[in-house]
């Protein structure tokens, strides 16, 4: 056995028997072992070097993103004006519906990348395509067709909320319950139910739900706390 076996090992070309023989040789022959270990350390070091270079590029991209989010001067002025108007309204009227508006964001599609491709998930493909394209009325119809699965009902309801069909969203969200598994469906159901209740002026019921959501670790825990603080 010569040292080219080590190359073949790195290329993944050895049979299991050959690999066993090589490992035995490494164990018994100090010169062979030294070469083996050196090449492994080169492999690790080249990986680290390449990854660090790529990562530092990605960090720059991240920095550019956050810098890009900073507003230009005129936008800052416009925002201040809006803020002042906002404050004025804030003191004049109940803030429930504006908070409901501010805290509503359609839930991203978390189902297709996570859940194994069952028939039901495949059937809701069209619904998710419409949903991701922002065609919410169509998405709601498609999710309704997709069946009884809680996730379909949840996305159906969120689609209604996105097109301001608050009453239909409320009915859908109250018509089922789910469990938090791989996806925290029940948590999201309560969150969107809270938003829908706020929109239709049922502040007390909404607050009760947000209090529940604030009490255990979940993706919307922080937001539930914030919205409670802002609700007077």
Partner 1 sequence: MDKQVAALKNGDRREIEKLYNQYRSGFILFLSRYGLPQEELTDIYQDSVVALIENARKGLMDNLEVELKTYLFAIGKFMVFKRLKKEREINTEDLILEWYDTGSEETESPGLRAALNRLGGRCYELLNLFYYQGKKLDEIRVLMGYEKKEVLKSQKSRCLKQLKEIIENG
Binding residues among 155-194 for partner 1 as defined by CB under 8 A: 183-184
Strands (E), 62-206: none
Q: At what angle do helices 203-214 and 185-199 cross, to 10 degrees?
A: 150
Examine residue 122 and tell whether it contacts partner 1 (CB under 8 A).
Answer: no
The three-class DSSP label of residue 231 is: coil
174 secondary structure, DSSP code: H
Examine residue 48 and tell whether it contacts partner 1 (CB under 8 A).
Answer: yes
Residue nearer to partner 1 on the CB measure, 70 or 116: 116
Distance CA 73, CA 157 (A): 39
Q: Spell out, one character per residue from 73 to 112, where the chain touches partner 1: x when CB under 8 A holds, - when not.
A: -----------------------------------x-x-x
Give the DSSP per-residue string, 46-90. HHHHHHHHHHHHHHHHHHHHHHHHSPPHHHHHHHHHHHHHHHHHH
Smallest separation, CB 225 to partner 1 (Å): 15
Length of the chain: 232
**Tokens representing 112?**
């297709």
Stretch that binds partner 1, among 16-24, 36-44, 69-77, 162-170 (CB under 8 A): 36-44
Examine residue 10 and tell whether it contacts partner 1 (CB under 8 A).
Answer: yes
Smallest separation, CB 113 to partner 1 (Å): 4
Examine residue 30 and tell whether it contacts partner 1 (CB under 8 A).
Answer: no
Residues that bind partner 1 (CB under 8 A): 4, 7, 10-11, 13, 38-39, 41-51, 54-55, 57-59, 61-62, 65, 108, 110, 112-114, 116, 183-184, 217-219
């Amino acid at each position: 056995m010569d040292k080219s076996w080590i190359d073949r090992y790195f290329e993944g070309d050895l049979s299991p028997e050959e690999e066993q023989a090589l490992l035995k040789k490494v164990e018994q022959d100090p010169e062979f072992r030294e070469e083996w270990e050196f090449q492994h350390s080169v492999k690790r070091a080249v990986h680290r070097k390449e990854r660090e270079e790529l990562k530092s590029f990605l960090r720059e991209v991240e920095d550019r993103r956050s810098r890009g989010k900073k507003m230009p001067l005129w936008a800052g002025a416009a925002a201040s004006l809006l803020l002042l108007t906002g404050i004025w309204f804030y003191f004049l009227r109940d803030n429930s519906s504006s908070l409901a508006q501010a805290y509503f964001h359609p839930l991203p599609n978390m189902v297709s990348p996570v859940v194994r491709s069952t028939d039901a998930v495949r059937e809701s493909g069209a619904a998710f395509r419409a949903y991701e394209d922002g065609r919410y009325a169509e998405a709601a119809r498609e999710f309704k067709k997709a069946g009884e699965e809680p996730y379909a009902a949840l996305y159906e309801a969120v689609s209604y909320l996105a097109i301001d069909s608050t009453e239909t969203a409320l009915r859908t969200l109250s018509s089922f319950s789910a469990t938090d598994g791989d996806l925290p469906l029940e948590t999201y159901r309560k969150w969107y139910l809270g938003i829908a209740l706020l929109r239709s002026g049922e502040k007390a019921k909404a607050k009760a739900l947000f209090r529940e959501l604030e009490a255990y670790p979940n993706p919307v825990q922080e937001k539930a706390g914030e919205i409670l603080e802002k609700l007077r």
